[in-house]
Structure 1
């Protein structure tokens, strides 16, 4: 039990930060306040990510439809999330720095399965789940070499751009955000903004920093589209109910 407590403290207070901040009250320490803030923010983002797409999943389930959601965008977002989680896991980064990517990947898998199932593509959903399982096994068992994961993470930047632009384009063409969840999109936007800070502080990895910065800008554009097309989405909802 004591080891678990010690490990939990160390994960939040790296190095001698627990002693500096909570025993010596050295709140002006040159590195500890930023390090602890980053770790705490990282854990908060990771915990929040567990429910990030739950509103989106529930909205699709209630409507029995994924109308307005780009399957290509979701697939590319999944590749980006799996790439970040796999690369960070194999690089030995702290879980608070990449746990959100893992939970996001799990929820994206569920959303993509919903898209396939509600469009009557059952066989495709089974094949998709098989591919995801094989990739997960390859990462954990080290069957997939590190240089491949580095390539995927590098490719994650244009993947994120294309993924978000596909959704932005679909929203623009429909002049509506369809079955997209405002809560989920806002949480994505806020999470990627916070992740820029934690990536700088905890990893210093330029690939992760650029990837999260790009995602933050594009998530902000999708979030803005909710307010741009608010009246159109409301009119479409009223028409559907009538």
Structure 2
């Protein structure tokens, strides 16, 4: 049993005969293995990092007992995009390292959206939202939601991602501040989507995923840049609240 688990773990990180080529034959100039192993390793690193991606954001909202400056519409659209990517990839049989971050991001976005509803006094809306998410999850795992629907959702994820990020960008621009947005979470999101472009090209070759991650990387970069554009205003707002 232990031997089988070890073999599966090795195959996950070293696809095909890459373990023998790289670690036994020391064939570091193999035409495909170095890129494949780098992609798998990077994918696992992104997935592990995504477990804590929005934890700073969640803690910041909890500490402030407020989600001011965070667009609920943006977060909901981002959740649809994350669920779409995770569901599409899961049902397509892609390796977990290629989409696990979308799963963990979706879980954390659910928490953030619940915080937005609860701290704004919309308790019933939060209950309905949680019920809808549970129903979708069951539909994907039980395969009650057909694959062509998931493909459509993944394709629709591109304009959804664009709309989601533009809503947050516009809200920041209108307030001339990034509000309760977490610099750490936004940076990790930006870095993760940039890395995902590479892993998607290498591991899946799926054009829907590649375009989706490329678009998200550009827009996440714009939101990250807004922290430095509105830094003085955001700091001034924070000082006013402390006083």
TM-score, reference length from structure 2? 0.99
2:100 counterpart of 1:99: yes
Q: CA separation in 2, counterparts of 1:166 and 1:188?
A: 16
Shift of 1:42: 0.1
Task: Provide the residue aligned with 1:229 in structure 2.
Answer: 230
Q: In the alignment, which residue of structure 2 is the partner of 1:209?
A: 210
* Aligned pairs for 1:8-87 within 5 A: 8-87=9-88
Gaps of 5+ in 1: none
Query: Aligned-pair distance for 1:239?
Result: 1.1
The 4+ residue runs of structure 1 with deviation greater than 2 A are none
The runs of 5 or more residues in structure 2 that have no matched partner are none
Which SS does the other structure have where 2:28 is aligned?
Answer: coil
Offset at 1:97?
Answer: 0.1
The size of the alignment, in residue pairs, is 242
Per-residue Cα deviation, 1:8-45 (whole angstroms, up to 9, x for no partner): 00000000000000000000000000000000000000
Q: State the shift of 1:89 in Å.
A: 0.1
Does residue 194 in structure 1 map to residue 195 in structure 2? Answer: yes
Per-residue CA distance 1:128-176 (angstroms, 9 max, x = gap): 0000000000000000000000000000000000000000000000000
Find the aligned partners of 1:46 and 1:4 in 2 and give their Cα distance: 20
Q: Distance in 2 between matches of 1:64 and 1:241?
A: 14
How far the C-alpha of 1:126 sits from its partner, in A, is 0.3
CA deviation after TM superposition for structure 1 residue 228, in Å:
0.2
Mapping for residues 48-197 of structure 1, pairs under 5 Å? 48-197=49-198
Deviation at 1:241, TM superposition (A): 1.3
Shift of 1:240: 1.3
Output the CA distance in 1 between the equivalents of 2:104 and 2:235: 31
Superposed displacement of residue 53, structure 1: 0.2
